[in-house]
Structure 1
Amino acid sequence: MATIRDVAKLAGVSVATISRYLNKSGYVNAETEQTIRSAISKLNYVPNHVARGLAGKKTNTIALLLPDISNLFFSDLARAVEDVAAMYGYTVIFGNSDDQGFKEKKYIETLKNKYIDGIIFASYTFERDEADMLTKLGIPFVCLDRGPSEATSSIVRAKNREGAVMAVRHLLEIGCRKIAHIYGPQHLVTAKERLIGYEQALADADWYSPSLLEPGNFRIAEGIKATEELMSRHPDIDGIFAGNDQMAIGSLKALNRMGISVGEQVAVCGFDGIQTTEITSPELTTVAQPIYDMGATISRLLIKKIEGKLDEDKLYELDVKLIIRDSTSRRTSTHEQT
């Protein structure tokens, strides 16, 4: 890959002149500009972090890479990142990886050659080799939920295991005696921790069976399918804890199709606290992550890192909250009357 020094040598000018031309930060006569453009074209040079360093400038632009912006959890998170970044004078560029590693790598390749001050990874495919590359290039980054290493990146996530225990205990307290779990992709720390929390809460349940577990891949359609499979295997299930709200919404839909009263016959609890849970029928009980606070925290951490004010990288785990609504509360009243 050609460097700014290669361009300067071919054009017969100083590196400082190339820097002035690239950053529009000083006078360069028309003839020299034409020579520089010709050299850049011949060398296929792309301005990168070196030029930025030579110019001694920041652009106050950060990138946020998301796995799926259509998931309302990530759109709510993005709103917080953008709000806080704007408070500090930063602009945010968004990228959607669709959970595809090659697409994320393409974004990184593009971003590293642009005037980007730092990157927030809210994706599931960010790997150690990419982290090492960004570290060598001097591009700060932070991560949501998981990161290649806590030594090189601050990581922000909610207390997933604690939240799962909270959800299952709530279902037990309202009288559920056979609780299933629809779990997310197990290569994700969030899904894994929620499954562990479910199993931990049921450690003393003599009715527990691995057949009460069904994958749902964090999607509505697969939450529907998982619920149908679970109810087919265990028609006496009276509680379902879904590992995210999208799967829980799928569960509501499946139960309604089967003529099963949600809340009274089968209680359903999700996880995330996305806004859609307030408009489902019935409204969905959920373990709410502090989504806005997570986005705000991760944005502030990146800006501190960019400005050299972050003392160390570490893991930040934020508290969750159980929000009880009709998908379990009607069962609560029935249980209390007996």
Structure 2
Amino acid sequence: MTTIRDVAKHANVSVATVSRVTNKKGYVSKEAEHAVLKSIKELNYRPNSVARSLYHKTSGMIGLVLPDISNPYFPELARAIEDVALTYGYTVVLCNTDEEIEKEKKYFDALKQKYVDGIILTTSSLSFDEYEELDLPIVALDRVIGDHIPTVVSNNREGGKTATEHLVKCDCKFLAHIRGPRGVNPADERYIGFKEVVNKLGIPNVVVDANFNIDQAEKVTREILTKNPKIDGIFASSDVMAAGVMKAAHTVGKKIPEDLKLVGFDGIPLGDMLVPSLTTVEQSIYKMGALSARLLIKQIEKVPLDSYYYELPTTLKERETTRQRGEIT
């Protein structure tokens, strides 16, 4: 492997001169620069990326911190972030925290040691002060951490209202909401949207907590359908949770959509694969990921931001889980 000393010897210059050329720092005469670049090309020399990151305190890497990579929603975000990052010459380091605070802290320590240029967060386990202490460009994606951290989210409250109003439009008389974890902004906002509609219209309802996973959603749904057999409409806080609702409904003998209508949230491909296919509130997942990457890169490259808060609209994607009897084929 060709070393920096080999280049220096071939170009008949010092190692320091080669370093100044490759790092683009310090004065080098035109003749010396030409000799070094010619030697680099002829010897096929590639500068040591680790050494360069130590010298510059940069790496050309972006950290992406996710709470649960097994949830299909997050790989879609990651794909968009990676696409944009690569376009601008950055690589993405994926960190899956499993929603564990200590694991998240360990990742932050590792990322700082690797001199990552910035971090995109889809978690919010730590305090605002702890994130500030990282002293790195940060973008909060699908989470709200603080006013001074650029944030990209969907209009979750409006999406929750849309989902609930659609169930009412489908003649549901007793609604349930399988909400996401308390303290997680998207889950809280979707819950608020649900409550705004049921309270305004005076519709009987029940709300139960669950995490964004199939198994827990199935468990709590089975329990509430057993205790409240009159429930005829459910709004699940994510599409993955909606899949758990469908399993529970089958277990207790309720047919979807004949006996029970269901709306999810996210718009991931899973919804179209389920049988019956899932009515859902669709987020602009790719746009969210791409926008967050651009905002982070702007910070890294010292480009002023037009805004620190971006809220993208949601749309209702109507499928078979809310079809009326006459509409089912």
Shared fold (TM-score, shorter chain, > 0.5): yes
- SS of the residue corresponding to residue 254 of structure 1 reads helix
Residue 164 of structure 1 aligns with an amino acid whose one-letter code is G
Matching of residues 129-208 of structure 1 within 5 Å = 129-135=129-135, 139-151=136-148, 153-208=149-204
Which one of 280, 284, 297 corresponds to residue 278 of structure 2? Answer: 284
Normalised by the length of structure 2, the TM-score is 0.81
Is the Cα contact below 8 Å between 1:183 and 1:214 reproduced in 2? yes
Residue 265 of structure 2 aligns with an amino acid whose one-letter code is F
- Give, in whole Å, the separation in 1 of the partners of 2:229 and 2:159: 26
Question: Residue 71 of structure 1 corresponds to which residue in structure 2?
Answer: 71
Is the Cα contact below 8 Å between 2:280 and 2:317 reproduced in 1? yes
- The answer on 1:253 being equivalent to 2:252 is no
Per the TM alignment, residue 121 of structure 1 is displaced from its structure 2 partner at its CA by: 0.8
Question: Residue 115 of structure 1 corresponds to which residue in structure 2?
Answer: 115
CA change 1:309–1:25 in 2 (3 A) is closer
Normalised by the length of structure 1, the TM-score is 0.79
- The answer on 1:218 being equivalent to 2:212 is yes
- Give, in whole Å, the separation in 2 of the partners of 1:245 and 1:321: 14
Residue 141 of structure 1 aligns with an amino acid whose one-letter code is I
- The answer on 1:233 being equivalent to 2:227 is yes
- Give, in whole Å, the separation in 2 of the partners of 1:59 and 1:173: 53
Question: Residue 13 of structure 1 corresponds to which residue in structure 2?
Answer: none
- SS of the residue corresponding to residue 327 of structure 1 reads helix
- SS of the residue corresponding to residue 225 of structure 1 reads helix
Per the TM alignment, residue 174 of structure 1 is displaced from its structure 2 partner at its CA by: 1.3
Residue 213 of structure 2 aligns with an amino acid whose one-letter code is R
- Summarize deviations over 1:45-90 as a string: whole Å, max 9, x none: x99988425xxxx432111010011100001110111111111121
- SS of the residue corresponding to residue 64 of structure 2 reads strand
Residue 146 of structure 1 aligns with an amino acid whose one-letter code is R
Residue 56 of structure 2 aligns with an amino acid whose one-letter code is R
Is the Cα contact below 8 Å between 1:49 and 1:113 reproduced in 2? no
Per the TM alignment, residue 185 of structure 1 is displaced from its structure 2 partner at its CA by: 0.6
RMSD of aligned residue pairs (Cα, Å): 2.5
Is the Cα contact below 8 Å between 2:139 and 2:151 reproduced in 1? yes
Residue 306 of structure 1 aligns with an amino acid whose one-letter code is I
- Gapped regions of structure 1 (runs ≥ 5): 1-15, 27-45
Residue 63 of structure 1 aligns with an amino acid whose one-letter code is G
- The answer on 1:102 being equivalent to 2:96 is no
- The answer on 1:305 being equivalent to 2:309 is no
- Give, in whole Å, the separation in 1 of the partners of 2:97 and 2:232: 37
- Give, in whole Å, the separation in 2 of the partners of 1:150 and 1:307: 21
- Give, in whole Å, the separation in 2 of the partners of 1:100 and 1:48: 33
- Give, in whole Å, the separation in 2 of the partners of 1:97 and 1:178: 37
Residue 199 of structure 1 aligns with an amino acid whose one-letter code is K
- Summarize deviations over 1:132-174 as a string: whole Å, max 9, x none: 2122xxx2111112243121x1010100000000001111111
- SS of the residue corresponding to residue 263 of structure 2 reads strand
Is the Cα contact below 8 Å between 2:226 and 2:252 reproduced in 1? no
How many residue pairs are counted as aligned between the two chains? 288
Question: Residue 93 of structure 1 corresponds to which residue in structure 2?
Answer: 93
- Give, in whole Å, the separation in 1 of the partners of 2:178 and 2:56: 48
CA change 1:126–1:48 in 2 (3 A) is farther
- SS of the residue corresponding to residue 201 of structure 2 reads coil
Per the TM alignment, residue 192 of structure 1 is displaced from its structure 2 partner at its CA by: 0.6
Percent identity between matched residues is: 40
Is the Cα contact below 8 Å between 2:66 and 2:96 reproduced in 1? yes
Per the TM alignment, residue 25 of structure 1 is displaced from its structure 2 partner at its CA by: 8.6
